[in-house]
């Protein structure tokens, strides 16, 4: 009976493919398979030697590997028997994808077994909270092909060419998830998978409203699976505001229930659209820790294929440990949100509070206006700062693109409609 945790013959075949296939096969294999995926000690050493030869642009063959072994590990006899078996099992280097797949599968199974063992051990550690134990286990279930491997220039350039070709084939379509705002999407190319975006604003400016507008554009208009995490409002309150936005029904009418027949019909249509959309909600004080939130995101990714996560809002999240300063706690939270975005390949959009400086000075918000920690701006791939005159029920608003790793910064005009708690693109008159 074969061992699910150990792909013995496939390890031999993989090494044989590298030795007989030359640099082209080696580049592909090394980009996918980390060294610790090779379980047999002698084969792992051969694998490392082959990588070293490739790094020095030297010829790769049975003879050069043996020569390098004698030079770098003189105290050990070269594994001639193992190398001969590699040659026997690999009939053709063209078979390397099958060998690589089997080796990686066994490696991932060992990784999952280790995660299960850790969960059992951690469950007895009273100094760890249940949320932290669950978060550690969830993180362990995120399996990646290679985390520590150095990538060759050829491998990276090849991926760059493929990515560029993909962008060309889209012919102007967004590479990321739409925000629902045309000019913002044009400047950012949408919210990118694997990245952390921050939307900052002062209280009562419209952080939740902008998040609801993004959720509406992504999940209702474009059917993107979306997770809405709120530490400030109940899920019913979020739906109420979303119904107002979608159906153009004044919030006050929904609150009081004073609607005519047309209003009731509009609400029925709007609630049907919201109910039929792939939006999933989590709210309440029970999800206030970063460990719980990252665990929820990982589960939502596996269960529903979530691609967009909206979090309202960052400074309400508690770190896993009691920090001496709020700055340290927020730094931990932003770092773990960035990590979970990368691990799960989701676009994470977190709302954040700004300090009072821009209101005192009556100016457009700046990057250093983010409250509590400069680490937020360092972790974020995209920082958007929202501003408007809060005392005006309707009027112009702006989003300042204060940071963008792969693009320009600038100002994006919006229009705010207070009765619907809704942001929209401005009409051409206001642009």
Q: Which of the four pLDDT bands, split at 50, 70 and 90, describes residue 430?
A: very low
The yes-or-no verdict on residue 212 having pLDDT over 90 is yes
Cis-peptide, bond into residue 215, ω within 30° of zero: no
Residue-level pLDDT at 172: 65
**CA distances, 362 to each of 81, 201, 353, 366, 387 (Å):** 77, 14, 17, 12, 11
Q: What percent of the chain has pLDDT above 90?
A: 28
Sheet holding 394-404: strands in order across?
279-283, 226-230, 308-312, 347-353, 196-201, 382-388, 394-404, 410-417, 422-424
Residue-level pLDDT at 151: 58
Three-class SS of 136-157:
HHHHHCCCCCCCCCCCCHHHHH
Q: Which run of H or E residues covers position 24?
A: helix 8-32
Residue-level pLDDT at 414: 93
* Residue 45 · residue 26 · CB < 8 Å: no
Classify domain 8-158 at the CATH topology level: DNAb Helicase; Chain A (1.10.860)
Average the pLDDT over each of 218-227, 243-252, 325-334, 381-390 and give the range with the smallest value.
325-334
The yes-or-no verdict on residue 147 having pLDDT over 50 is no
Closest CA to 351 of 196, 234, 218: 196
The yes-or-no verdict on residue 135 having pLDDT over 80 is no
Q: pLDDT, tens digit, for every residue of 308-332?
A: 999 988 888 888 665 556 777 888 8
Residue-level pLDDT at 144: 46
Residue-level pLDDT at 193: 92
- Mean pLDDT, rounded, for 27-41: 86
Strand partners of residue 194: none
Strand partners of residue 351: 199
Q: Is 388 helix (H, G, I), strand (E, B) or coil?
A: strand
Residue boundaries of the structural domains of the chain: 8-158, 176-430
Q: Provide the mean pLDDT of the chain.
A: 84
Residue-level pLDDT at 148: 45
Q: pLDDT, tens digit, for every residue of 193-208?
A: 999 999 998 888 889 9
Q: Are strands 279-283 and 308-312 parallel, antiparallel or unpaired?
A: unpaired
Classify domain 176-430 at the CATH topology level: Rossmann fold (3.40.50)
């Amino acid at each position: 009976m074969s061992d699910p945790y150990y792909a013995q013959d496939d390890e031999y075949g993989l090494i044989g493919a590298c030795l007989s296939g030359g640099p082209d096969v080696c580049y592909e294999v090394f980009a996918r398979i980390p060294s610790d995926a090779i379980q047999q000690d002698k084969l792992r050493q051969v694998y490392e030697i082959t990588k070293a030869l490739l790094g020095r642009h030297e010829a790769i063959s049975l003879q050069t590997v043996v020569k390098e072994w004698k030079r770098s590990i003189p105290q050990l006899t070269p594994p001639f028997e193992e190398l001969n078996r590699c040659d026997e099992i690999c009939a053709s280097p063209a078979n390397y994808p099958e060998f690589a797949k089997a080796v990686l599968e066994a490696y991932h199974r060992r990784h999952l077994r280790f995660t299960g063992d850790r969960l059992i051990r951690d469950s007895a550690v009273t100094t760890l909270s249940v949320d932290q134990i669950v978060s550690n286990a969830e993180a362990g279930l995120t399996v990646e092909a290679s985390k520590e491997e150095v990538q060759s220039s050829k491998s990276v350039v090849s991926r760059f060419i493929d990515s560029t070709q993909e962008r060309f084939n889209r012919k102007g379509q967004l590479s990321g998830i739409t925000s629902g705002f045309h000019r913002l999407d044009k400047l950012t190319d949408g919210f990118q998978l694997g990245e952390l975006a921050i939307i900052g604003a002062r209280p009562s400016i419209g952080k939740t409203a902008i998040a609801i507008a993004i959720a509406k554009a992504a999940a209702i208009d474009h059917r993107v699976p979306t997770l809405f995490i709120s530490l400030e409002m109940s899920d019913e309150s979020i739906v109420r505001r979303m119904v107002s936005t979608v159906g153009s029904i004044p919030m006050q009418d929904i609150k009081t229930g004073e609607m005519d027949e047309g209003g009731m019909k509009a609400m029925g249509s709007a609630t049907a659209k919201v109910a039929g959309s792939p939006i999933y909600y989590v709210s309440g004080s029970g999800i206030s820790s970063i460990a719980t939130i990252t665990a929820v995101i990982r589960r939502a990714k596996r269960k529903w294929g979530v691609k967009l996560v909206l979090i309202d809002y960052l400074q309400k999240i508690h770190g896993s440990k009691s920090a001496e300063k709020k700055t340290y706690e927020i730094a931990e939270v932003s770092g773990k949100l960035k990590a979970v975005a990368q691990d799960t390949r989701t676009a994470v959009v977190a709302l954040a509070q700004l300090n009072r400086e821009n209101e005192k000075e009556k100016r457009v918000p700046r990057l250093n206006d983010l409250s509590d920690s400069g680490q937020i701006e360092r972790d974020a791939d995209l920082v958007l700062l929202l501003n408007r005159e809060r005392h005006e029920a309707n009027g112009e608003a702006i989003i300042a693109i204060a940071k963008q790793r792969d693009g320009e910064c600038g100002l994006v005009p919006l229009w705010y409609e207070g009765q619907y708690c809704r942001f929209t693109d401005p009409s051409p008159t206001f642009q």
